[in-house]
Structure 1
């Protein structure tokens, strides 16, 4: 299987349905600068290049939505994912754009935009290790990022195994990846595109194969085990309905005019 095929197919389902930042605000609109809370690094969604420039899929979508469609200034504000919803509701930024899965638990505390990406929780392992099926994870340590749906998927797997699974939680996903390479965990459970980006850069890391949630849901399943099927959304405080509707209109516009597809192809095709 082509290693880059790990990254294909994730956003396509949502694409048919809605830069630069972070060295400061961008010009192009009136009113207050929109502050965007985001967990960085989370490649390929938001990460810094060697010169410090913030790039990524979410970063380019933000430019298309806020800069081009809405004509507004905006800036990204780095924050830990584990406390990102509390930070939003405490007024530390206007919204969250951080590869965040829409789910019922989070929807009790925030309101979400229309979905703009589809993802799956997946498992990566060392190619020459002793893990070749989901059942092989019983009794093993798995790495996850705190506060993510990857952590939730791992907890679900632990329950499926009758508690016979140990979770090692890290503040950032890079910590879990390092632990895998150092044999401190046997696997990492995380979003398919982020896992795929890491596997694409490390020849000794592969996806754990097998059928799972995507095939169970009747979707065209990717060629690896999927523990969940999820949609990403932009999160807002629950008193920000008018602004959320404006953002939804802008998301719809970039899907309609082809900008979304162009950005998507920069990160998840070829």
Structure 2
């Protein structure tokens, strides 16, 4: 009887625990899917902290950049406290949809594939996926990339853009791009001649060249296409998208966006 009683107590406790865990799981899922980001007092912004000049760390280790300044202006406009959260960029959509972050904001290119996973704000900056080589490279055109080692950031729109030109992409050495955790690592491997070319965002490459010296590199006339940056918001959260877009237009109208753009690019290049 004692053994039977202990077994009944144990089974009851396990059943109660399972019910509690299920309830918690359901509640967490519900919160993630039903709570609009615009209703939160604090926004956690997911970013790549090596993506200069949009979001990166300065000499003191502080996060800075064009997108950082835009986010701060938007936070002030909407009365939100901001937390800047560096993330593994290859996991950005998973971080957003799990609720670990509230916005993806750091040179996040709008693509059809990404639209299936997240909702985007209005585009705020134009960009191109350009090809950079060392100044003395024999590579003069996209066709010359055949048989060469071409670097890019893992899970980036640069890879997506190259994959769309499937025949050319398959002609690369090993039949694909050499991927890196971030663009800086790719560009450093180019410097060391471990790879032959890098495909990356124009704003990143041109900023890198200004730091390293423009006589060391050459940007090809051909590229892998124009694109636009937007801010990623959880799928279906139209309330936040609409509020964000309205606030952005107001920041444009009062000159805030132009001021930030001029600070980082020397002129108003914002959309």
Task: Work out the number of aligned pairs and report it.
Answer: 225
1:265 aligns with 2:259: no
Distance in 1, matches of 2:223 and 2:263, equals: 24
1:209 aligns with 2:220: yes
Moved more, 160-169 or 132-141: 160-169
Distance in 2, matches of 1:117 and 1:260, equals: 11
Of the candidates 233, 237, 240, which is equivalent to residue 236 of structure 1?
A: 233
Contact 2:129 2:161 in 1 (8 A): yes
- Structure 2 residue matching 1:130: 3-state secondary structure: coil
TM superposition shift of 1:31: 5.4
Contact 1:141 1:168 in 2 (8 A): yes
Correspondence for 1:70: 78
Normalising by the residue count of structure 2, what TM-score does the alignment of the two structures yield? Answer: 0.79
Of the candidates 148, 167, 170, which is equivalent to residue 160 of structure 1?
A: 167
Gaps of 5+ in 1: 1-29, 211-224
Contact 1:34 1:73 in 2 (8 A): yes
Normalising by the residue count of structure 1, what TM-score does the alignment of the two structures yield? Answer: 0.79
Contact 2:46 2:103 in 1 (8 A): yes
Distance in 2, matches of 1:123 and 1:149, equals: 13
* 1:75-86 correspondence runs (5 A): 75-86=83-94
Correspondence for 2:148: 140
TM superposition shift of 1:187: 0.7
Correspondence for 1:125: 133
Of the candidates 224, 227, 246, which is equivalent to residue 249 of structure 1?
A: 246
The structure having more radius of gyration, on CA atoms, is: 2
Distance in 2, matches of 1:31 and 1:133, equals: 49
Check 1:71–1:103 CA distance in 2 against 1; reply closer, same or farther (3 A cut): same
Correspondence for 1:107: 115
